[in-house]
Amino acid sequence: MRLFSFDYRFEGFVPAAKRRWGYYALPILQGDRFVGRLDPKLHRDHGELEIKALWWEPQVKVTRRLFADLDDSLHRLAAFLGVDQIVMPPTAGNSRQAPLVPEMN
């Protein structure tokens, strides 16, 4: 589905080798625009929300405000899910992925 110049498809039923983003990749909305997507995984048995991957849209400038908004939203999501930890491992070197700890000017 392409909406608001943002191409999105739920890939949960797509074979892993054919996925572009991830099993449950979700769009990231900031204000009135889509700025990226992330692939979360809930580990109820460990009480953690894992962010497996994070991608920014090409036109998005990564700022401290953007990361602060994302951090706030992830903590609200974790509280809603009833988990205590958010785990964000380093990227696996995929060039589309954003570093989880950005270099900012």
Q: How confident is the model at residue 98 (pLDDT cuts 50, 70, 90)?
A: low
Q: What is the pLDDT of residues 29-44, one digit of tens each?
A: 888 888 888 889 999 9
SS (H, E, C) the chain: CEECCEECCCCCCCCHHHCCCCCCCEEEEECCEEEEEEEEEEECCCCEEEEEEEEECCCCCCCHHHHHHHHHHHHHHHHHHCCCEEECCCCCCCCCCCCCCCCCC
The gap between the terminal CA atoms of the chain, to the nearest Å, is 34
Rounded to two decimals, the pTM is 0.73
CATH topology for the 2-87 domain:
Aminopeptidase (3.40.630)
Task: For residues 91 and 14, give the distance between their C-alpha atoms in angstroms, rounded to a whole number.
Answer: 22
Q: What is the pLDDT of residues 47-95, one digit of tens each?
A: 999 998 888 888 888 888 888 899 899 999 999 999 999 988 665 334 4
Domains of the chain by residue range: 2-87
pLDDT at residue 89, as a whole number? 67
Q: What is the pLDDT of residues 84-95, one digit of tens each?
A: 999 886 653 344
